[in-house]
């Protein structure tokens, strides 16, 4: 069996994850016959690019982000969320009201625990976009897809974190204090994405780096199509994860 090893920087990982998300059968079905709502997030910006075929300002397609502190994009600089109805862009403001269990919401995460459960930080006292959407998603059974890089893996359980932290429990923070909400859905990391793109098996073998490689992940890819995956990754690396 063929085996190759690849290292992805965070932007390259986001591109590979986005390409994998597009391959998901539930996403393909919603692209043809349903609705997809891509919520704000830097990884989601890559997903939106894959789904629309156009370049998106990653730094503005976000609500909160981490730049050494926990912070948010000023509301006047944020881009609006993107939603697609049968593959065509439509207004996203009230689209959640039209969505059914055949449709897809794409939501990023800040944490991925040992059980594969994702969690999202909440800097808004009423939960922001997450708080406004998750009740409807759960009530209707809308498909929730969670693109998140392995770099966001943590050794602690998301459910326990969500019980223990909160904006009003925090007395000091390097940036904005946050709470956390677990996300229950289909998690897509580099591992799942590469399998969706044709890999037989994928497993991480290392993480981290220096000189621009900070946050990188190194993976082993096996299977009959390993060489094809390697070539795909090389193309992504040549563009440094850009569209």
pLDDT (tens digit, 9 = 90+) per residue, 195-227? 999 999 999 999 999 999 999 999 999 999 999
Question: What integer is the mean pLDDT of 44-67?
Answer: 97
pLDDT computed for residue 161 by the predictor: 98
pLDDT tens digit string along 135-189? 999 999 999 999 999 999 999 999 999 999 999 999 999 999 999 999 999 999 9
Question: What integer is the mean pLDDT of 220-239?
Answer: 98
CA distance 185 to 233: 26
CA distance 229 to 4: 9
pLDDT computed for residue 66 by the predictor: 95
Burial call 99-128: b when 16+ CB within 10 Å, e when fewer: beeebbbbbbbbbbbeeebbbbbbbbeebb
Question: What integer is the mean pLDDT of 27-31?
Answer: 98
pLDDT computed for residue 148 by the predictor: 98
The CA-based angle 42-48-53, given to 5 degrees, is 130
pLDDT computed for residue 208 by the predictor: 97
Which two three-digit tokens encode residue 125?
Answer: 């006292």
CA distance 144 to 202: 23
- Give the SS3 label for residue 101: coil
Structural domains of the chain sorted by starting position, each given as residue range(s) with its CATH number in brackets: 11-189 (3.40.50)
Alpha helices (H) in the chain, listed in sequence order: 10-23, 25-33, 42-52, 128-140, 158-164, 190-196, 226-238
Q: How confident is the model at residue 1 (pLDDT cuts 50, 70, 90)?
A: confident
pTM: 0.97
Residue pair 104/112 in contact by the 8 Å Cβ criterion: no
CA distance 116 to 204: 14
CA distance 19 to 13: 10
pLDDT tens digit string along 95-134? 999 999 999 999 999 999 999 999 999 999 999 999 999 9
């Amino acid at each position: 069996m063929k085996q190759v090893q690849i290292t992805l920087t965070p932007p390259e990982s986001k591109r590979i994850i986005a390409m994998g998300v597009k391959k998901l059968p539930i996403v393909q079905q919603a692209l043809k016959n349903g609705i997809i709502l891509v919520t704000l997030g830097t990884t989601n910006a890559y997903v939106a690019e894959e789904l629309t075929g156009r370049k998106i300002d990653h730094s503005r397609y976000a609500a909160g982000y981490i730049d050494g502190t926990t912070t948010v994009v000023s509301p006047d600089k944020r881009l609006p969320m993107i939603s697609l109805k049968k593959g065509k862009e439509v207004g996203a403001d009230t689209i959640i009201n039209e969505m059914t269990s055949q449709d897809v919401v794409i939501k990023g995460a800040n944490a991925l625990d040992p059980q594969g459960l994702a969690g999202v930080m909440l800097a808004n006292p009423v939960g922001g976009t997450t708080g406004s959407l998750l009740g409807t998603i759960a009530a209707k059974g809308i498909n929730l897809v969670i693109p998140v890089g392995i770099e966001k893996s943590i050794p602690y359980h998301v459910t326990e974190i969500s019980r223990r932290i909160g904006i009003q429990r925090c007395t000091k923070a390097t940036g904005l204090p946050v709470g956390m909400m677990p996300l229950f859905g289909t998690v897509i990391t580099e591992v799942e994405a590469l399998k969706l793109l044709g890999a037989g098996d994928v497993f991480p073998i290392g993480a981290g780096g220096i000189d621009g490689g900070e946050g990188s992940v190194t993976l082993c890819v096996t299977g009959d199509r390993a060489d094809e995956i390697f070539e795909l990754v090389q193309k992504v690396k040549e563009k440094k994860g850009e569209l």
